[in-house]
Amino acid sequence: MNLMANILLNVLIAFLIGSLLFGLQRKVMARIQTRPGPPIIQHLLHTLKFFIKESSFPYTAAMPFYIAIASMLCAIWVSAVIVGPVIEGSLLLFFGIYALQKIVEHNAGSSSGSPYGKLSCVRAVFSAAAEVPLFAVLVIIYLQTQTMVISDIINYQAVNGPLIFTIPLAALMFFVLILSKSPYSPFAITKGKDIVSGYETEHFGVLRGYLMISESIAWYMLLWVFLTVFIGPLGILGYLVGMVAISVLIAFINSITPLLNPNHSIMVQITFAFIGIVGSLVLMLVM
């Protein structure tokens, strides 16, 4: 298959499945809280809706920047899809993409000039302190498998069994990272309802659409990376089942936990990271 078609295909799949998973998550959370909840399709419709709404830009915004940054987020996650499912490149590259994404996310907030966006931006910087150590899980994977290239990691797991059994603490760390990126999670301080919609507060119309598209792709990609590097070679059906399972699990967690205060959220995550890194290193030395 030609590369461009492959990329397009994967991006579309990522977007649609990501949105459906978000919808599913909302539904599950609603049911746990004994509300009827919106249909599963809701998140997708919500995203598409923004493309036919009028776009307006706040007059206080930092102009070309404010628009470019939202489109940038999209581009970044599309490149994540390219690195991940399409060419199965280096995990380090994925790490870099995650870092860039973090920046875009926080500056989407601050470039609008809204106080809520600004607060969300400050919190995003803060939360990066916790998420970057969590991403160090990739280093543990490297130490275990001796490679950073995704296709080699898959081969390694085909031979030696899933990594989740050999480095469970790393898998736990990555799970916390995924948890922190999910909506309504205890660690979602950047989008807490106390600051309206966080960094998305001042994005309307097309820009909001971009942001939501990239969020969906991001969710898909995080789950994809988790399943790929910890569970091993899977068919597409396997990925689907895994993603649904993780989404439902996270929905359970999110619906029963409160939003933490920013400092505490960071420190809880750092504690997890610390336990995870030290624990996995110790486990590796022992085994």
Partner 1 sequence: MDEITYLIYIISFVLGSVLGLLLSYKKYNQPFVTKKIDPVALIISIAGWFLVLNSALLFFLPSFVSISLGLFLVALVLGMRPGYGRYETVFGILISAVVWLALTII
Partner 2 sequence: MDIATLGGQLLGQIPLGDIVLYLTPFNLFMFAGALIFTTLIAISRTETQVEAEFGSLNDNEVKVGLKEFKIRRFLAVVCGLATAGAMITGDVFNFTLLVALIGIVNIGIVSAVKQIDVLNAAFQYGLIAMIASLPLFGGAAIILASTGTLSILEIAQLSFTTPMMFFASVLLILGIAGETGIAPFYATKAEMFRTPGSPFILIIHLSSLLVIVRAIEILLIINKPF
Partner 3 sequence: MKLGRLWNSLANPKRIPRLFSIILGFILLTGFLIPMALNDNQLYPRPVPQEQINQGNPLAPYDRGGEVLKEPGIVISQYPENEPNLGKITSYLTPIAISVKNSTIYYGTSIYSSPGGLIDEILYYTRGFDTVLESTILMMAFVIASWVALNFTMRREEE
Q: What does residue 188 show for φ and ψ, rounded to 5 degrees?
A: -80, 60
- Residue list 181-220, contact with partner 1 (CB under 8 A): none
- Which partner in partner 1, partner 3, partner 2, none is near 205 (CB below 5 to 8 A by kind)? none
- Which partner in partner 1, partner 3, partner 2, none is near 261 (CB below 5 to 8 A by kind)? partner 3
- Residue list 216-275, contact with partner 3 (CB under 8 A): 261, 263-264, 266-267
Binding marks (x or -) toward partner 2, 2..41, rule CB under 8 A? ----------------------------------------
Instruction: Choose between 122 and 206: whose C-beta lies nearer to partner 2.
Output: 122
Q: Taking CB under 8 A as the rule, does residue 155 contact partner 1?
A: no
Backbone CA torsion sign across 164, 222, 76, 155:
positive
> CA 2, CA 18: separation in Å to the nearest integer?
24
Distance in angstroms between the alpha carbons of the first and the last residue of the chain:
43
CA distances from 135 to 16, 92, 176, 204 (A): 26, 10, 10, 31
Q: Taking CB under 8 A as the rule, does residue 262 contact partner 1?
A: no
Q: Rule CB under 8 A: choose which of 6, 147, 155, 255 binds partner 2.
A: 147
- Which partner in partner 2, partner 3, partner 1, none is near 32 (CB below 5 to 8 A by kind)? none
Q: How many helices (H) and strands (E) does the chain have?
A: 12, 0
- If we measure between CA atoms, which residue out of 216, 217, 242, 219 comes closest to residue 230? 242
- Which partner in partner 1, partner 2, partner 3, none is near 279 (CB below 5 to 8 A by kind)? none
3-state secondary structure of 194: helix
